Amino acid sequence: MTDKIAFDLVSPERLLLSEEAEMVTVPGTEGDMGVMAGHMPLISTLRQGVIDVKGGTNGDERFYVIGGFVEISPNKLTVLAEEAVPVAELDAAALDQRIKSAEEDLSLAKSDSERAKAQETLDYVRGLRSAL
Amino acid sequence: MASLKSLRNRIASVKATRKITKAQQMVAASKFRRALDAAMAARPYAEKMGAVITSLAGGLKDNPGAPTLLRGTGKADRHLLIVATADRGLCGGFNTNIVRLARLKIEELTASGKKVAILCVGRKGRDQLKRQYGPLIVDTIEFTAIKRIGFVNAQTIGKRVLQMFDEGDFDVATIIYSRFKSIISQIPTAQQLIPAPIGQTSNKADGLVYEYEPDEIEILADLLPRNVSVQIFHALLENVAGEFGAKMTAMDGATRNAGEVIDKLTLVYNRTRQAQITKELIEIISGAEAL
Mutate to test the interface with A, among B213, B236, B240 (most CBs of A within 10 A): B213
State the pLDDT at residue B200.
56
Cβ B214–A29 below 8 Å, yes or no? yes
pLDDT in tens, chain B (291 residues): 678 899 999 999 999 999 999 999 999 999 999 999 888 888 888 888 888 887 777 666 666 777 778 777 777 888 999 999 988 888 888 999 999 999 999 999 999 988 889 999 988 888 888 888 888 888 888 887 777 788 888 888 998 899 888 888 888 999 999 988 888 888 999 988 888 777 655 544 445 677 887 888 888 888 888 888 888 998 999 899 999 999 999 999 999 999 999 999 999 999 999 999 999 999 999 999 998
Q: Which of B206, B211, B219 sits opposite A69 (nearest CB)?
A: B219
Q: Closest Cα of chain A to B219: distance in Å?
A: 6
State the pLDDT at residue B25.
93
More confident residue, B18 or A12: B18
The structural domains of chain A, with segments of one domain joined by +, span 5-88, 91-130
pLDDT in tens, A54-96: 888 878 888 888 888 898 988 889 999 888 888 887 778 888 8
Evaluate whether residue B176 is within a structural domain.
yes
B212 close to A (CB below 8 A): yes
State the pLDDT at residue A124.
80
**Residues B37/B39/B44/B49 CA torsion (nearest 10 deg):** 160
Q: Which of B223, B229, B233 sits opposite A69 (nearest CB)?
A: B223
Kindly provide the ipTM of the predicted complex, given to two decimals: 0.75
State the pLDDT at residue B201.
53
Sequence-distant (≥ 6) Cβ neighbours of residue B126 within 8 angstroms? B120, B137, B140
State the pLDDT at residue B14.
95
Percent of chain A with pLDDT over 70: 98
Evaluate whether residue B82 is within a structural domain.
yes
State the residue range of the domain holding B223.
Answer: 22-199+209-250
Closest CA to B104 of B87, B129, B73, B78: B129
- pLDDT above 80 for A46: yes
What sign has the CA pseudo-torsion B205, B206, B208, B213?
negative
CATH topology of domain A5-88: ATP Synthase; domain 1 (2.60.15)
The DSSP element (H or E) to which B3 belongs, if any, is none
Q: Which of B38, B209, B213 sits opposite A44 (nearest CB)?
A: B213
- pLDDT above 60 for A1: no
A30 close to B (CB below 8 A): yes
Evaluate whether residue B165 is within a structural domain.
yes
Cβ B213–A43 below 8 Å, yes or no? yes
State the pLDDT at residue B61.
62
CA B4 – CA A113 distance, rounded (Å): 67
Cβ A42–B212 below 8 Å, yes or no? yes
State the pLDDT at residue B205.
45
Domain count, chain B: 1
Specify the length of chain A in residues.
132
Evaluate whether residue B47 is within a structural domain.
yes
Evaluate whether residue B74 is within a structural domain.
yes
Q: Residue B146 belongs to a domain with what CATH number?
A: 3.40.1380.10
From its phi and psi, is residue A31 left (phi > 0), alpha (psi between -120 and 50) or beta? left
State the pLDDT at residue B288.
94
